A and B are shown apart, each in its own frame.
Chain A
Amino acid sequence: MIEISGLAKRFEVENPKKLSEQEKKDPRLKGRYFQSVRDVSFTCDQGQVLGLLGPNGAGKTTTLRMLSTALRPDSGKVLIGGEDVLANPNIARKKIGFLSSSTGLYGRLSGRENISYFGELHGIPKDVINSRIEEMADLLDMQNFLDRRAENFSSGMKQKVSIARAVIHEPALVVLDEPTTGLDIMATSTVMEFIQRLKDKGTPVIFSTHHLDEVQTLCDKVTVINQGETVFNDSLAAFSALSGGQMHKSFLKTLSMDSEETSNVVNL
């Protein structure tokens, strides 16, 4: 079970004078500091898929970065299977597979070398890495480009290799930050199938997205963050029931906004 409670994180604004008028009005801006995440709490059980929703700038990426130990929260707790992530980040890192929103690969390494490198960083024996790569190459349809240099990969190819890289160590929890953004229909479908497969295996998955159809298809739970705070955290059924099965209206309701206001923050 994954338990996140009272997470908060603020950043120092390098040059407050350069902020736009709209940014200056954000209630999270306190002097030289921007309170990106103020109070985020949610839980995710074994085998569940949790969809993290929220408008741009709500604090989703910062939350996922704290969950994955890339950032250290100012306050709050993250427990994975009872293990305190903040107290033992290196132990937690072995349990988490994280895919960041900026898909980055080492261009001068092949797809296989990219995945293998992260497997080795996790201390997995070479032969195990090789067999897992073969397995994932089939699952993610990567056989025909896996041995090519990553510098020439399309966005879809990069994302597939990045996902494989994130789960090479068979983590206890998979965290994906907008995994389908910028992908074509085929690549999106492969990623969705992969998440479903993780779910079937009992691996909890937390992923942020702007696509409500993905949430409807895959998620068991929904957490909505707005202005750095959790505004909804319940089952998909409860989320859907907020507006009689209309996902986008449910989302608007959690933000206490009308459809005009939110047309820019969600793909209906």
Chain B
Amino acid sequence: MNLKVYAPDDFPSYLPKLNALYDDLFSHGKGFRAKLIQKISDHLEVSSQAVHLMAQTIEFIHNASLLHDDLIDRSPLRREKTAAWLKYTPEYAVLAGDYLLARVMVNLSRHGNLLLIQYTAEIISDLLEGEWIQDSLIEDWDVSLTQLDRVHDLKTASLFKWCIRAPFIAANDNRPELHRCLDEMGSLLGLLFQRSDDLLDFDIRNYEGKAILGDLQSGYMNSFATFLARDMTEQQKAKFRDCKTKHEVYQVFGEEKFFAKLEQFDEHNKKVIHLFDHHCDQLSAMLKESERGLVADLKQLPGVLYWRKV
């Protein structure tokens, strides 16, 4: 099935600026979350209409969060293009994000699965709570990894949880123990994705050549920065905050030590991957014979999300 989560006629023709904004926004996205929905749904008894609805839902929520995020962070670029708030004004960016979330609710309520509507509203709420708390951590240079994990569980992991739980809800499989397991798995995937994304900011496994040190320069200590800062002296921390290039980062406490810390960080996250594998085995025992192929697909995800294997 070819997933085209966004079509121009999804939105009213009498709002040309809104359509132009969405054309820009959706044109360069990878649609990873939509693909994940499709991959999971392939193993379950879910109609193609429902798969499309879920894929669209997650992409709309994700893109709404990007519109709002970019404005909050004052990021000038999104997917290597001028961010919507700069190109179309902050007011339009806010309205466009709000409109996407409203569309999500309209589309889901038309579909009529109440549990799915309720769960979607919950994750949108989590997402916003995470965004709100994250904003309070700007310029907080001594934030701990545990504190950041809490934010990421709300902000990043909520979407991953939705991706792996929603297809089961659409398939009317609402066993509590199954959803507890899926929820934990989503949480771990979100954590791995976020930590890998934070590594990109230090040019680690940055195969797409994304801009680096953006978090640090906006006054935000991401998970790897926090991990690096654990053993730093106050003097090193002060230098670290002012780094503009990765070579300046290496100079703070030596290139060798930087990569030793990276190795430790990877080891730390391997434990998360092992835990995810353990939950995959647990999930396998809860699935029907015809659904078990899903586990093999899920086991590949940490490789894609953390190690960035294509």
A joins B in a complex: no
Which residues from chain A sit less than 8 Å from chain B, CB to CB?
none
Which residues from chain B sit less than 8 Å from chain A, CB to CB?
none
